[in-house]
């Protein structure tokens, strides 16, 4: 297992188009998170899954954003009708609730989105 | 809402020297975790060190140690014997026990000079 993987790593899209990012967590991890990071800022929490259930969504996640984790394994984050303000790096992370580890969260390398 | 403040946008250190990165946070909770993450350019964010708030002893991981001052709500990271590979953005993060989400500071860019 090589850790959290994200695809694509980079995406350039025209304003108004839809984009989808995929995240494959560490295989034994049942928790999966999406964060957004803009230049010069720390990551901001977007949403969180435990298994297939989406348990929390940030107010940052507008109705143009939807995240799924249909079988409790990989997750997708879709952005509809992209806007220039959506340009950011979208980070996926995972953790396990089975082993008490102080909620250590492991991050992927991120998916860079540029909206032109 | 909890906030995390990193007051040093950039820091630099000579190779083999010691550097301390500052972090303060604001919370009314007593049960929480604090983290330092390292993000090298174009690479994934990795955990450097973790501190549980209920532990009085400061966490240490090899050349990395923290100075956790709970009353002052301060959580600084000390890097000893700095190496070129330590150059990165360093983020301080807070996790309220059971909240399942991290609150990050804006980061400190560390440069290591040979």
In chain A, residues with a C-beta closer than 8 Å to the C-beta of B106 are: 40-42
> Which chain A residue's Cα is nearest to B51?
A102
Q: What's the whole-number average pLDDT of chain B?
A: 93
Chain A with chain B: Cβ pairs closer than 8 A: 55
* Average pLDDT rounded to a whole number, residues B31-46: 90
> Which chain A residue's Cα is nearest to B109?
A40
A36 part of contact set with chain B, CB < 8 Å: no
In chain B, residues with a C-beta closer than 8 Å to the C-beta of A107 are: 37, 44-46
Edge to edge, what strands does the sheet with A19-24 contain?
A: A5-7, A19-24, A75-79, A65-68
Q: What's the whole-number average pLDDT of chain A?
A: 91
- Taking CB atoms and an 8 Å limit, are A102 and B33 in contact across chains? yes
- Taking CB atoms and an 8 Å limit, are A4 and B46 in contact across chains? no
B87's enclosing H/E stretch is none
B61 part of contact set with chain A, CB < 8 Å: no
> Which chain B residue's Cα is nearest to A33?
B101
Per-residue model confidence as pLDDT tens digits over A85-114 = 999 999 999 988 765 555 678 999 999 999
- Taking CB atoms and an 8 Å limit, are B101 and A45 in contact across chains? yes
How confident is the model at residue A102, as a pLDDT?
A: 59
How confident is the model at residue A101, as a pLDDT?
A: 56
A58's enclosing H/E stretch is none
Farthest CA pair distance, chain A:
43
* Average pLDDT rounded to a whole number, residues A25-43: 92
How confident is the model at residue A100, as a pLDDT?
A: 57
> Which chain B residue's Cα is nearest to A93?
B45
B43 part of contact set with chain A, CB < 8 Å: yes
Q: How confident is the model at residue A60 (pLDDT cuts 50, 70, 90)?
A: confident
**Beta carbons within 10 angstroms of residue A31's beta carbon:** 19
How confident is the model at residue B91, as a pLDDT?
A: 97
Tokens of B12: 């630099």
Per-residue model confidence as pLDDT tens digits over B59-108 = 999 999 999 999 999 999 999 999 999 999 999 999 887 677 899 999 99
Burial status of residue B94 (CB atoms within 10 A of its CB: 0-12, 13-18, 19 or more)? buried
């Amino acid at each position: 297992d090589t850790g959290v993987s994200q695809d694509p790593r980079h995406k350039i899209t025209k304003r108004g188009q839809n984009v989808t990012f995929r995240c494959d967590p560490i295989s034994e991890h049942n928790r999966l998170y999406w964060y957004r990071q803009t230049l010069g800022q720390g990551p901001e929490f977007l949403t969180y899954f435990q298994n297939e259930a989406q348990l929390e969504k940030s107010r940052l996640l507008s109705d143009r954003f939807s995240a799924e984790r249909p079988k409790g394994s990989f997750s997708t984050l879709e952005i509809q009708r992209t806007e220039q303000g959506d340009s950011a790096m979208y980070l996926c992370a995972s953790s396990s609730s089975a082993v008490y580890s102080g909620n250590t969260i492991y991050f992927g390398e991120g998916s860079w989105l540029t909206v032109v | 809402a909890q906030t995390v403040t990193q007051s040093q946008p950039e820091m630099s250190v000579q190779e083999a020297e010691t550097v301390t990165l500052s972090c303060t946070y604001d919370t009314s909770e007593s049960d929480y975790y604090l983290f330092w993450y390292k993000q090298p350019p174009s690479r994934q964010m990795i955990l450097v060190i973790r501190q549980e708030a209920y532990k009085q002893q400061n966490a240490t991981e090899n050349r990395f140690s923290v100075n956790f001052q709970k009353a002052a709500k301060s959580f600084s990271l000390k890097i000893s014997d700095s190496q070129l590979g330590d150059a990165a953005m360093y983020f301080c993060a807070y996790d309220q026990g059971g909240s399942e989400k991290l609150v990050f500071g804006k980061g400190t860019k560390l440069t290591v000079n040979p």
